[in-house]
């Protein structure tokens, strides 16, 4: 408000209201213009030609210039301009090619003054000379510009652009004789009004039509142009060749551009199509609008700053039949919503990260930027108005270098290659994969595989060496494992969190590698005590540390228990597993149910940390030796999500495939698809095409399996005439030769055909391999140095 009063005193001639307001027009507007003292605005369009007074709180219709029962096309305006010296004088450009002037001082209802019908096509633009009362310029679709002296009946000079339609003409504000014209073919011409024979200079400003231009009100050298190519460009016209000094890329074709008064670098634009907003840009910050007005519902067709020296009011007319006065203080500031964070990987795994300083400032180790605080330029002699400042965001940029070893993904490649995903019984797959993981020193993963085998395997078929020496072990293991899983997860969770914070403070080693950092303190222990006892011990240790987790775990078990009752397959499965003819069926069932209930009770009662140790030993015999596989599904699901979250999507997908139907229904399709996509993407980045293909094939998501069916076209050239083979089949269209002849044995190849992409020659895989042992040249004798990879 303080600012406001300053403005009004500066231009005391006009009492300027201060409110965003609008009024409905009867018809879409094509252009608007204000009179010199900023108290009235004229709106022109195909079916509207009215003058509104700008009052404190509202627009008031002053005059309807569109008179007559059936107004002629002369009233259908493409453009309108109010004279900036003579209050009663207006000019319009009619769509039928007429240039009309209007004298508001006329006593009659029809204010039409003069009518020039010299243009053959639609007149796109009219422009009064800024200081000469009687001089009017027009630009038309027919490619001509005409200069009218309003005291005469016809034009005084005609300028031929020698190119296509004229879209805009603008007198220079500072140079008396100069005007600029923009053309549909992308050119901008600068003319001297005294020399109609030839333009002073011409340059191509845009690709496609240049819809508008505007001379800078203060700087005589600057011309802003806007085009269909969605660009706004600012040209320095003082040099011998027009030089582009600023360029703003907008999101739609630019219909109008208007420099903002009193702000050297600001200009307002609106668009021709699709985008209805008005943007105010700071040309030095071309990537984000300084301010946006979002009131209109259809394209904005006319924008004008209300007063020549006041940057706070913008008037706009639109195809949605409204006229708006926008207050600058009400504009939205897109920069407030912008996210000033950025993240990018370098070629060698370096990571650059930029974030607001305020977010990073908590880091005490950071040194301030050596250039000092740049937020406030030194030349301010008074306190800058914060609303006129681009919100300054100073970001801190951190670059994290990657330690090559820690980032090594060898384990990933090896794992991908060595894992078996199908083709063997489930237990063997698990064992194999566990072994692979163990050899790669990833004991957690290895353990997981072992546990999976135990959880889901048919106990009867289990051929583990441990079968004979502990019956009880089999019974206890599943439950313990389920706890175990949880503990490991939470263990890693905290561990990695620690690791990450360390990484941040050291600014390196950001890339976490779950395989290597995983519970290093437990590594040795785990490896030497391989098998169930080791795990059990491990679990105890953790359980002692972390009772809360144990408690929550039991809660989950309770809820899961209901689930366990539901599926029928659980019972069927048990039939198979049992293989115990002596035990009657109902007894089995009782047995299966009862221990669980009691186990539950036991769990509920054993909440205290001291007893948690004994919990397992107590509940152990109560459990049936064979828990149904579905019992573990929620836990496995959690485990898979955990692995995926940790970035080891390889594990998640591999387990998903190996478990197959056992787990698939537990995980929603979108998540599965997401995992598959991530894993396949990773595999392809490591060029593990075969593995990726196998994964695609084994997946059950329809979105994934169809990946194999996309882009299966192979474009080939005929080996004979070297033209592309457009037909299907192996007969070349042009030379009628069979294209797939082996260059070595001259027989048609059926089966694996390998060929050089350079010369199109090839043949049987083994023939070519043999040939290349002895020669580097093409076997067809074409002289090409073939390369088969």
Partner 1 sequence: MVNGENERVSLLFMKALVSRGSVDAVSQQMASHPQYLESFLRTQHYILHMDGPLPLPYRHYIAIMAAARHHCNYLVYLHSAQFLRVGGDPLWLQGLEAAPPRLRLLDHINKVLAHQPWLTACSHIQTLLKSGEQCWSLAELVQAVVILAHCHSLCSFVFGCDTDSDFVPLSKSTNGFPPTFWPFDAANGNTNVPQSLATPSEHITRRRVTNSIQFSLFCVMMCFTDSTHFITDPDLCYQEFARREQDHFQVFRVQDYSWEDHGFSLVNRLYSDIGHLLDDRFRSVTTLPSMHSPDLKRAIWNYIHCVLGIRYDDYDYGEVNRLLERDFKLYIKAVACFPDATKTPVCPLSLAPLKPSERIHVNLLIMEARLQAELLYALRAITQYMIA
Q: CA neighbours within 13 Å on the CB side: how many for 656?
A: 31
The size of the interface with partner 1 (CB under 8 A), counted in residues, is 38
Q: Give which of 533, 540, 395, 550 is closest to 477, Cα–Cα.
A: 533
The dihedral built from the CA positions of residue 116, 118, 122 and 123, taken in this order, carries a sign that is negative
C-beta of 470: minimal distance to partner 1 in Å? 57
Asked if 721 touches partner 1 (CB under 8 A), the answer is: yes
Asked if 118 touches partner 1 (CB under 8 A), the answer is: no
168-207: contacts with partner 1 (CB under 8 A): 184
61-80: contacts with partner 1 (CB under 8 A): 73, 76, 78
Nearer to partner 1, 140 or 650 (CB): 140
Asked if 273 touches partner 1 (CB under 8 A), the answer is: yes
Backbone torsion region of residue 420, taken as left when φ is above 0, otherwise alpha when ψ lies between -120 and 50, otherwise beta:
beta
Report how far apart, in Å, the C-alpha atoms of 353 and of each of 328, 343, 396 are: 34, 5, 8
C-beta of 736: minimal distance to partner 1 in Å? 10
- Token pair, residue 15, equals 């009492």
One symbol per residue from 462 to 501: x for binding partner 1 (CB under 8 A), - otherwise; what is it? ----------------------------------------
Say whether 368 sits in a helix, a strand or coil: coil
Out of 726, 757, 770, 775, name the contact with partner 1 by CB under 8 A.
726
Out of 63, 252, 744, 772, name the contact with partner 1 by CB under 8 A.
252
**Cβ atoms 303, 281 nearer than 8 A:** no
Asked if 460 touches partner 1 (CB under 8 A), the answer is: no
Asked if 211 touches partner 1 (CB under 8 A), the answer is: yes
The dihedral built from the CA positions of residue 378, 383, 388 and 389, taken in this order, carries a sign that is positive
One symbol per residue from 305 to 324: x for binding partner 1 (CB under 8 A), - otherwise; what is it? ---------------x----
Strands 123-128 and 155-160, by their bridges, are: unpaired
* Adjacency order of strands within the sheet including 322-327: 21-24, 322-327, 310-318, 300-307
Q: Give which of 118, 185, 181 is closest to 154, Cα–Cα.
A: 118
C-beta of 76: minimal distance to partner 1 in Å? 6
Nearer to partner 1, 253 or 612 (CB): 253
- Token pair, residue 363, equals 């880091």
DSSP class of residue 724?
A: B
Asked if 748 touches partner 1 (CB under 8 A), the answer is: no
**Cβ atoms 741, 719 nearer than 8 A:** yes
Report d(CA 235, CA 215) in Å as an integer. 10
Report d(CA 396, CA 507) in Å as an integer. 13
Asked if 445 touches partner 1 (CB under 8 A), the answer is: no
Out of 734, 772, 777, 784, name the contact with partner 1 by CB under 8 A.
734
Nearer to partner 1, 76 or 178 (CB): 76
Out of 733, 754, 772, 782, name the contact with partner 1 by CB under 8 A.
733
C-beta of 543: minimal distance to partner 1 in Å? 52
Task: Let me know the angle formed at the C-alpha of 633 by 645 and 649, rounded to the nearest 5 degrees.
Answer: 25
Asked if 361 touches partner 1 (CB under 8 A), the answer is: no
Helix axes 649-659, 669-685, angle to 10 degrees: 120
Asked if 160 touches partner 1 (CB under 8 A), the answer is: no
Nearer to partner 1, 141 or 189 (CB): 141
Asked if 27 touches partner 1 (CB under 8 A), the answer is: no
Out of 92, 95, 269, 532, name the contact with partner 1 by CB under 8 A.
95
Part of the chain binding partner 1 (CB under 8 A), chosen from 186-194, 525-533, 633-641, 725-733? 725-733
C-beta of 93: minimal distance to partner 1 in Å? 11
Nearer to partner 1, 183 or 676 (CB): 183
Nearer to partner 1, 413 or 721 (CB): 721
Asked if 706 touches partner 1 (CB under 8 A), the answer is: no
Asked if 97 touches partner 1 (CB under 8 A), the answer is: yes
Helices (H), 248-321: none
DSSP class of residue 339?
A: -
CB within 8 Å of 740: residues ≥ 6 apart: 719, 730, 748, 749, 753
C-beta of 639: minimal distance to partner 1 in Å? 37
Out of 156, 735, 744, 782, name the contact with partner 1 by CB under 8 A.
735
Q: How many CB atoms lie within 10 A of CB 310?
A: 20
Report d(CA 547, CA 500) in Å as an integer. 25
Q: Give which of 541, 503, 504 is closest to 521, Cα–Cα.
A: 541
Out of 112, 155, 250, 253, name the contact with partner 1 by CB under 8 A.
253
Applying CB under 8 A, which residues contact partner 1?
28, 46, 73, 76, 78, 94-97, 119-122, 141, 184, 208-209, 211, 228, 252-253, 272-274, 297-298, 320, 721, 723-724, 726-729, 731, 733-735
């Amino acid at each position: 408000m303080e600012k406001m009063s300053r403005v009004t005193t500066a231009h005391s001639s006009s009492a300027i209201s201060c409110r965003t307001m609008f009024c409905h027009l009867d018809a879409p507007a094509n252009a608007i213009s204000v009179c010199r003292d900023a108290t009235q605005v004229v709106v022109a369009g195909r079916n509207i030609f009215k003058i509104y007074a700008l009052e404190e709180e509202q627009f008031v219709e002053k005059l309807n210039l569109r008179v007559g029962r059936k107004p002629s096309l002369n009233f259908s305006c493409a453009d309108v301009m109010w004279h900036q010296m003579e209050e009663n004088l207006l000019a319009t450009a009619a769509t039928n090619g007429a240039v009309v002037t209007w004298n508001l001082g006329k006593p009659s209802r029809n204010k039409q003054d003069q009518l020039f019908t010299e243009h053959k096509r639609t007149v796109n633009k009219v422009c009064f000379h800024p200081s000469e009362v009687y001089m009017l310029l027009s630009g038309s679709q027919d490619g001509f510009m005409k200069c009218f002296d309003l005291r005469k009946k016809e034009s005084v000079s005609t300028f031929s652009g020698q190119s296509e339609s004229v879209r805009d003409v603008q007198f220079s504000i500072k140079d008396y004789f100069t005007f600029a014209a923009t053309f549909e073919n992308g050119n901008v011409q600068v003319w001297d009004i005294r020399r109609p024979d030839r333009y002073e200079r011409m340059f191509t400003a845009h690709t496609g039509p240049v819809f508008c231009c505007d001379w800078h009100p203060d700087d005589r050298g600057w011309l802003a142009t806007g085009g269909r190519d969605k660009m706004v460009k600012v040209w320095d016209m003082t040099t011998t060749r027009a030089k582009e000094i600023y360029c703003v890329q907008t999101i739609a074709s630019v219909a109008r551009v208007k420099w903002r008064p009193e702000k050297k670098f600001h200009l307002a634009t609106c668009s021709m199509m699709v985008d209805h907003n008005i943007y105010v840009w700071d040309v030095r910050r071309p990537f984000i609008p300084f301010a946006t007005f979002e009131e209109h519902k259809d394209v904005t067709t006319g924008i004008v700053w209300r007063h020549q020296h006041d940057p706070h009011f913008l008037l706009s007319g639109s195809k949605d039949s409204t006229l708006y006065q926008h207050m600058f203080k009400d504009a939205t500031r897109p920069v407030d919503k912008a996210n000033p964070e950025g993240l990018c990987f370098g070629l060698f795994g370096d990571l650059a990260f930029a974030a607001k300083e305020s977010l990073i400032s908590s880091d005490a180790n950071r040194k301030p930027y050596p250039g000092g605080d740049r937020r406030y330029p030194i030349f301010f002699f008074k306190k800058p108005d914060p609303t006129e400042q681009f919100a300054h965001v100073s970001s801190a940029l951190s670059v994290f270098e990657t330690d090559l070893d820690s980032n090594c993904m060898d384990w990933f490649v090896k794992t991908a290659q060595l894992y078996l995903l199908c083709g063997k019984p489930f237990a063997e797959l698990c064992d194999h994969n566990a072994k692979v993981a163990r050899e790669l020193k990833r004991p957690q993963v290895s353990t997981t595989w072992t546990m999976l085998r135990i959880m889901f395997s048919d106990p009867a078929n289990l051929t583990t060496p441990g079968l004979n020496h502990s019956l009880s072990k089999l019974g206890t293991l599943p439950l313990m494992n389920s706890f175990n899983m949880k503990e490991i997860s939470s263990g890693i969770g905290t561990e990695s969190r620690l690791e990450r914070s360390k990484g941040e403070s050291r600014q390196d080693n950001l890339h976490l590698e779950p395989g290597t950092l995983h519970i290093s303190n437990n590594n040795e222990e785990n490896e030497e005590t391989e098998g169930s006892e080791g795990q059990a011990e491990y679990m105890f240790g953790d359980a002692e540390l972390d009772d809360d987790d144990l408690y929550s775990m039991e809660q989950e078990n309770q809820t899961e228990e209901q689930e366990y009752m539901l599926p029928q397959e659980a019972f069927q499965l048990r039939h198979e597993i049992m293989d115990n003819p002596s035990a009657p069926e109902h007894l089995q069932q009782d047995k299966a149910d009862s221990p669980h209930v009691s186990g539950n009770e036991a769990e509920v009662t054993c909440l205290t940390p001291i007893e948690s140790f004994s919990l397992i030993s107590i509940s152990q015999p109560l459990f049936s030796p064979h828990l149904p596989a579905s019992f573990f599904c929620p836990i496995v699901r959690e485990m898979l999500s955990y692995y995926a979250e940790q970035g080891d999507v390889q594990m998640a997908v591999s387990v998903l495939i190996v478990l197959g139907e056992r787990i698939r229904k537990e995980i929603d399709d979108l998540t599965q698809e997401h995992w598959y996509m991530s894993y396949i993407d990773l595999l392809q980045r490591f060029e593990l095409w075969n593995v990726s293909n196998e994964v695609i094939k084994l997946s059950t998501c329809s979105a994934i399996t169809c990946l194999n069916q996309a882009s299966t076209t192979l474009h080939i050239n005929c080996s004979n005439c070297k033209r592309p083979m457009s037909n299907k089949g192996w007969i070349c269209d042009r030379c009628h030769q069979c294209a797939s002849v082996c260059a070595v044995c001259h027989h048609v190849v059926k089966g694996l055909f390998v060929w050089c992409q350079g010369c199109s020659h090839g043949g049987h895989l083994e023939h070519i391999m043999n040939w290349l042992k002895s020669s580097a040249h093409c076997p067809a004798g074409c002289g090409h140095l073939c390369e088969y990879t």
